[in-house]
Structure 1
Amino acid sequence: MRRSLLLATSALALAFTPAHAQQALPETIVTATRIPTEQARVPAAVTVLTRQDIEERGWRSLAEALATVPGMRLVQGGGLGQQASAFLRGSNSRHVLVLLDGVPVNDPSEPNGAFNFGNEMLGDIERIEVVRGPGSSLYGSGAIGGVVNMITRRAPMGTPARAFGDLAAGSNRTLRGVLGLEGTTPTTDFLVVGQSMSSRGSDATAPRFNANTGEREGFTGAAGTARLGWAPVEGSRVEGLLRWRENGAGLDNIPRDDPNNEQTDRRLYGQLRGETALLGGAWTTGLRAAVTEDRRRNVNLPDGLNPTRTDDLFRGTRQVLDWGNRVRLGDLGPLEEAGIAFGATHERESSDSQAGSPPFRTSVDATARNTAFHAGAQARVLGRLDLSAGLRQDLAEDYDGFTSWQLGAVLALPEAQSRLRASAGTAFKAPSLYQRFGRIGTSFRGNPDLSPERSFAWEVGGETDIPLFGRDDGATLGATWFDTRFRDLINFNAAFSTLENVERARARGAELSLVLRPMPWLDASAAWTVTETRDEATGRPLPRRPRNVLTLAARVAPTDRLVIAPELLFTGPSPEGAFAAYDNTGRSFTSITYNKAGTVLNLTGSYRVSEGITAYAEGRNLTGSRFEPANGFVVPGRSLLAGARFTF
């Protein structure tokens, strides 16, 4: 019955000409193909979150922003600084690849190679591009569920030197500040940004536990970004970027708080790249070198609840050397606006980590290297059919390499104000350094013979504009149907002494959307994701993947000075794995249980006081929901932040 309902829902959406709503103005996407392409011509489901979205909706972290993306389910154990995992289209949290300006930043010292979305503040981020579906043909390991690319701010051309900033304060003793300087000259551009935030925080442990002490988990964070670009001649550019971020936060525990559990998380990132145009601008070639260093420390001092001392240190580094090319071929017979992209990437990642206490002390001291070659092509046929293809070969030193591919097509139907798209491809996740070389005392050894986790996925979808309210696009209906099969997933062997490629799973569903534009000053949108997952060995649903996720949002601008942006996030019941769920007494369940559904209401209002000053107020969880995204951990309580953004 559930499967029939899902199929019927998707069929109904496709009848309306299916995908999530796009902006009315053309949007150029870089992440999806490595060639700047209009969003309407990209054969993948893409969501773009702009600087305007970040400010008008009051998103304080990357996790808050991504919670609104169709197909994305964010699970966070508390507020800023707390672990936040992303489950994209039913994939595992380690199957989402995160980029900063096109460079992978997943921490090599994280045991599964997953990314913590709860650490990133957004003061220096210009836009976030989220490409759903397999992306390994472009970016290699980790891009099974999709790719998230954070693109840092850059001074617009023709901008004289100017300062900008953001100062705010609010409940829970929260203080936030951003201060920056940017500008351009005829041949250079520069940007310097500093940001910080501190908060007493809230209690992330569910109040339903009998042993809950109500302890708040505070947060302090700071980050600095510097960019310098030089364009000596037209078509050539050299750019350097440095970014530092360091956070400190208290950690909650379930079913009982631990008052001395603290963590710090620091990332250093540097990138130097140059590119130049050849053959009259038809061929652009570029070289990029980047280094990322992550350092995480977790300290838990002895107390009345726990007499042991924990001092965990995780250190991971990633070095990337990338050569990339874009060639615009123009019209070739029946092919129009043809282009190709090709290049090579070399990565070196290492982990030097120690965690836990004897006899269960965990250690990793390992290095891995990988070289990859990639190529892609795209063209238009008959003025309305966009075709694309991508191929990548990864050649790793210490595990089997992988060949990934992707094919896609987009058909424009201007007569019906619609477009259809379809794509299919493969992706993989390399075994992490911990999975291959980690040790836990004398009882566990990693498996250096592990194979990559792999997937095959396809999707079909599209969207259509419906004339309403006196305009051609008064409403936009969209839908995407997706299906992913996972193979060779890594899990413990029966003796828990090592790891094996033993699991298989499947995820499928539909992303449905509706945008209404009834008035020039009002836009309203709804995004509903229906996901069905299954462990193919047990037949059970995969943990923490709810069947239904719904986002309702609006932008109300009754004057050119005032913007009101409400946001309602609904998450349906989600399964929780055995031994990961607790009743009110703290007793764990030995079978699959379900987390209850929950709803969170956010509201942000902005008022432009003058040309360079905008005042705002951000309300979070205004109904005081005690929703548990993961069993035992509640969303932060009701809060209010007020401040002003300025430019001068």
Structure 2
Amino acid sequence: MFRVIVRSSISLAAFAAGFPLSAAEAANAAATSEEDSIVVTATRAPLALDEVPSTITVLDKAAIDRSQDIGATELLLRTPGITVSRNGGYGTTTSLRIRGAESDHTVVVIDGVKLNDPAASGGGYNFGHLLVGDMERIEVLRGPQSILWGSQAIGGVVNIVTTIPEKPLEGSFDIEAGSRNTVSARAAIGGRTGPLSWRIGGQSFTTDGISAISPAFGGVERDGYRNRGVTGRAELALASNFSVEVRGYYSKARVNLDSTRADTPDYAFNQEFLGYAGARLDLLDGRFRNRISYSYTATERENYGPLRARPVSLEARGENRRWEYQGNIGLMRGVSAVFGAENERSQFRSRSPDASLARPLPPFANGKAEVTSVYGQISVEPVDGLTINGGVRYDDHDRFGGQTLFAAGGVWRLPTGTILRTNYGEGFKAPTLYQMFSQYGNAALDPEEAHGWEAGIEQHLFGRALTVVATWFDRTTTNQIVYTPDATCNAASTNPLCFEPGSTTVRTAYYLNVARGKAQGIEAAAALTLGALTLDGNYSWIVTEDRSPGGANFDKDLPRRPRHAANASVSYALPFGLDIGAALRWSHKSFDDAPNSIVLDAYTLVDLRAESKLSENVRLFARAENVFDEQYMTAYRYGTLGRAIYAGFRGRF
């Protein structure tokens, strides 16, 4: 159905990694052959595609268009090692896990800026509101990546790149409609003239949706969703070696909700904002590149229950402010280094008012944290075909002191078309502000830590018409923070954790460092191109277990993580301009709870797609999702999208 490029990008890769190329350099990069492509996500500096030891999957613009997906989650779910759970239809809470890691162990980056919510319980990112919009490319980097991407990158990184213009004036549009009164429209326009390049895009999405609670549990009413967003970026070259750039992203969404057991008229608002300003200076004939930037992100959430005496049930806002310097230097032939310094300040406020007006409105729980970091990574090619790199990072957290992390890896490219790679990385995630300062907070928490390694082989055959990849990975996470109920808490308790921070209010749950997790498995993928026929597929075997010593759930599978998952797709381009394709998604059973008492059954989904070329610039497309109307759940009691049909037009000029 679409082509997945494993390990490398084929276009514009340098824009994403927080060390952007100029518009002219990006255009040149896009014109290179696949063998000479540039990938920057893993190292935050340009490297040939076969010189990166970490496992990367890249979805380029052609793949994004062919998939016809509205949400980024659907695209990501088709790649190896990714599992997703969602509390209903579009817009509901959506958790993405890489190689079985916790959902908040994934760093999400949009145009080089990390986007997470410090007011969320795990401080992570809700993928439920991430639409495809003006995305040019999506990169998935697996395994611990905290050396270059900082806290939270224990599972991996999802890096999103919006489109950068190449022509004096260019644009695009997509409009489609279909089942459940779903309408999606997006458009963008931009250009590059002399020293200035710019682009702005927007998207609107509405749907009547499905019942968030599964019909099997009494869900009847539809829970609708709407999302409107805009992205923009501009770059100005003030000299041949000096440029400045600004970027922005904003979205506002409204989704109807249900309780965990019944239909309700509840609803929620979600707003996300990202702003970036940076400057770049190249020295030593471009061999020494420097970037300094400032970014700001904010996520605001509000939940409402119209039937409550006090309608507002949640108010939360999380903010990040981040200064960064990054340098990249070519020391000599075959030796390069990337290094930098960062300062990140985060803060949150949150409260959950009681429904009864008899109880006073509680004050906001507030908290802030600051971390200053330095990092460096060096890459060496001692002999032709062999690349070795190593890195170190030091984080100085204002609450947890210093933490030093290491990483190392290597890639060996053989003349037989075989590539061998191995990589080791460490992760570190400080407790979130919510985990420390909310009504369930515990200021005495320790950071979560992880270490993992991987080893893989990639084989190209028949002039790269066939590519086969297999990777083994292993990761251990310690000091995991878990929401812990405590039925013994009462007003006479001597345990200080039985009371909300700074008050005498009794609580019956709090956060503790009580968990240890183990994940290991195999990812395998293959892609074959035979003229107009393209076949690809992947399989993931992921064993994630609770390894908490003495715990009641020792050796149990971690919730909502199927051990087996597979994807396959086929696409054929007919000579008269019609492309047809099909995709299959199979997921093994999983468990919804820690004791493994609630089973989420296995399921198989089949999608069909077609696309017809109306002119050089305009295409008509249609697709059918979940053709056989499979009934399944990725989270217990919550519904999933059944059969749906969509059609629309796409234009690129």
Please state whether the residue corresponding to 1:280 is helix, strand or coil.
Answer: coil
The answer to whether structure 1 residue 543 and structure 2 residue 540 are counterparts is no
- Aligned AA (1:142): Q
CA distance in 2, matches of 1:414, 1:634: 51
- Which residue in 1 is equivalent to 2:499? none
The answer to whether structure 1 residue 341 and structure 2 residue 357 are counterparts is no
Give the conservation status (yes or no) of the 8 Å contact 1:352–1:366: yes
- 1:180-233 CA-to-partner distances (Å, cap 9, x unmatched) read 211111111110111101111122322222xx1411111111111121111122
Give the deviation of 1:548 after TM superposition. 0.1
- Which residue in 1 is equivalent to 2:520? 508
Please state whether the residue corresponding to 1:281 is helix, strand or coil.
Answer: coil
The answer to whether structure 1 residue 435 and structure 2 residue 435 are counterparts is yes
The answer to whether structure 1 residue 318 and structure 2 residue 320 are counterparts is yes
- Which residue in 1 is equivalent to 2:25? none
- Aligned AA (1:35): A
- 1:13-57 CA-to-partner distances (Å, cap 9, x unmatched) read xxxxxx957679234221100111222221011011112111110
- Which residue in 1 is equivalent to 2:291? 286
Give the deviation of 1:391 after TM superposition. 0.9
| 1:554 paired residue among 546, 563, 570 | 570
- Which residue in 2 is equivalent to 1:245? 251
- Which residue in 1 is equivalent to 2:214? 206
CA distance in 2, matches of 1:292, 1:492: 26
- 1:341-372 CA-to-partner distances (Å, cap 9, x unmatched) read 11100001110111252779695211111100
- Which residue in 1 is equivalent to 2:456? 461
Give the deviation of 1:612 after TM superposition. 1.6
The answer to whether structure 1 residue 163 and structure 2 residue 171 are counterparts is yes
CA distance in 1, matches of 2:63, 2:109: 20
Give the conservation status (yes or no) of the 8 Å contact 1:57–1:565: no
- Which residue in 1 is equivalent to 2:390? 389
The answer to whether structure 1 residue 270 and structure 2 residue 261 are counterparts is no
Give the conservation status (yes or no) of the 8 Å contact 2:274–2:296: yes
Give the conservation status (yes or no) of the 8 Å contact 1:378–1:389: yes
- Which residue in 2 is equivalent to 1:41? 51
Mind listing any 5+ residue stretches in structure 1 that lack a counterpart?
1-18, 579-589
CA distance in 2, matches of 1:362, 1:262: 22
- Which residue in 2 is equivalent to 1:175? 183
Alignment of 1:10-159 (within 5 A): 25-26=34-35, 27-156=37-166, 159=167
Please state whether the residue corresponding to 2:104 is helix, strand or coil.
Answer: helix
- Which residue in 2 is equivalent to 1:196? 204
Alignment of 1:252-267 (within 5 A): 252-258=258-264, 260-267=265-272
- Which residue in 2 is equivalent to 1:452? 447
CA distance in 1, matches of 2:468, 2:125: 32
Give the conservation status (yes or no) of the 8 Å contact 1:21–1:478: no
Give the conservation status (yes or no) of the 8 Å contact 2:304–2:313: yes
CA distance in 2, matches of 1:197, 1:550: 29
- Which residue in 2 is equivalent to 1:376? 377
CA distance in 2, matches of 1:73, 1:558: 33
- Which residue in 1 is equivalent to 2:28? none
- Which residue in 2 is equivalent to 1:499? 511
Give the deviation of 1:310 after TM superposition. 4.2
Give the deviation of 1:572 after TM superposition. 0.4
CA distance in 2, matches of 1:47, 1:112: 25
Give the conservation status (yes or no) of the 8 Å contact 2:6–2:58: no
- 1:542-596 CA-to-partner distances (Å, cap 9, x unmatched) read 1111110101112321237332232211110001215xxxxxxxxxxx8623210
Change (3 A) 1:308 1:596: farther
- 1:491-520 CA-to-partner distances (Å, cap 9, x unmatched) read 245735532222111000000122222x21
- Which residue in 1 is equivalent to 2:537? 526
The higher-RCO structure (CA 8 Å, 6+ apart) is 1
- Which residue in 1 is equivalent to 2:464? 473
- Aligned AA (1:269): L
Give the conservation status (yes or no) of the 8 Å contact 1:21–1:514: no
CA distance in 2, matches of 1:341, 1:607: 45
- Aligned AA (2:88): G
Give the conservation status (yes or no) of the 8 Å contact 2:7–2:58: no
Give the conservation status (yes or no) of the 8 Å contact 1:225–1:244: yes
Q: CA RMSD in A?
A: 2.0
When normalised by structure 2's length, the TM-score is 0.88
Change (3 A) 1:564 1:140: same
Residue correspondences, number: 595
- Which residue in 1 is equivalent to 2:477? 486
The answer to whether structure 1 residue 600 and structure 2 residue 605 are counterparts is yes
- Aligned AA (1:572): H
CA distance in 1, matches of 2:69, 2:135: 12
Give the conservation status (yes or no) of the 8 Å contact 1:406–1:425: yes
Give the deviation of 1:621 after TM superposition. 1.4
Please state whether the residue corresponding to 2:180 is helix, strand or coil.
Answer: coil
CA distance in 2, matches of 1:163, 1:47: 27
CA distance in 1, matches of 2:290, 2:565: 42
Please state whether the residue corresponding to 1:59 is helix, strand or coil.
Answer: coil
CA distance in 2, matches of 1:323, 1:86: 30
When normalised by structure 1's length, the TM-score is 0.88
- 1:144-180 CA-to-partner distances (Å, cap 9, x unmatched) read 0001111111102xx0223321121212111111122
Mind listing any 5+ residue stretches in structure 2 that lack a counterpart?
11-32, 487-507, 549-553
Give the deviation of 1:315 after TM superposition. 0.6
- Aligned AA (1:25): E
Identity across the alignment (%): 29
CA distance in 2, matches of 1:125, 1:294: 20
The answer to whether structure 1 residue 353 and structure 2 residue 350 are counterparts is yes
Give the conservation status (yes or no) of the 8 Å contact 1:182–1:190: yes
